[in-house]
Amino acid sequence: MIPQGLLYTNEHEWVKLDGAVGTVGITDHAQSALGDITFVELPPAGKALSKGDEACVVESCKAAASVYTPADGSVTEGNAAVDEDPSLVNSDPYGQGWLYKIAFTDAGALAGLMNAEQYAQFLEEQEH
């Protein structure tokens, strides 16, 4: 269920690293908890973000959630497809439903994030 090769935060975001550029989205657990997603506020390209900054807001029928920045960097692209069709975040959270890409100042700063096994265990612990 939880894809290998991605990094996970305890705020239920995932990061896929390609060199120094990361693609960020929310996990299947997060989209399921939010329910039908109706709107995503994406960061503009070029926006400088520091670790912990709110990068996006994801709105669902009954809730809204912030998506935080995993490490310092500069936004290179927001996913225009989810702006057009926010339900992609529900139907394909690890694929077409990605949210934004960010060029990290130091990708080494992501070392503290979880891998798939650790995130699976984290989810299990949260449920108990």
Partner 1 sequence: MTQKTILHDRHEQLGARIVDFHGWMLPVQYEGVLAEHKHCRTGVVVFDTGHMGQFLICGRGVAAELGSVCTQNAQALKVGRSRYGFLLNEQGGVLDDTILMRLGEEEFLLVVNAGTLESDLKWLMSHLTSAVALRDLTASGWAKIDLQGPRAYETLAPLVTAGDPGAMGYFGVGRYQCLGRDCIISRTGYTGELGYEIMADGEDLVAIFDKLMATEGVKPAGLGARDSLRMEMCYPLYGEELTPAHTPLEAGLDVFLPSDHEFVGWEALQAQAAQGVSRSLVAFQSASRRKTNPGDKILFEGNEVGVVTSGGFAPSLEVSAGLGYVAPHLTQPGRELIVNTGRAEIPVTVCEKPLYKQGTCRRKDVRG
Residue 27 near residue 8, CB atoms below 8 Å: yes
- Which among 17-25, 52-60, 72-80, 91-99 is the span making contact with partner 1, rule CB under 8 A? 52-60
- What Rg value do the Cα atoms of the chain yield, rounded? 14
Least Cβ distance, residue 10 to partner 1 (angstroms)? 22
Q: How far is Cα of residue 3 from the mean position of the Cα atoms in its chain? A: 13
Q: Which residues contact 95 (CB under 8 A, 6 or more apart)?
A: none
- Which among 12-20, 60-68, 72-80, 105-113 is the span making contact with partner 1, rule CB under 8 A? 60-68
Least Cβ distance, residue 6 to partner 1 (angstroms)? 25
> Applying CB under 8 A, which of residues 11, 41, 77, 92 lies at the interface with partner 1?
41
Backbone dihedral region for residue 52 (phi beyond 0: left; psi -120 to 50: alpha; all else: beta): left
List contacts with partner 1 (CB under 8 A).
35-36, 38-39, 41, 57, 59-62, 64, 86-87
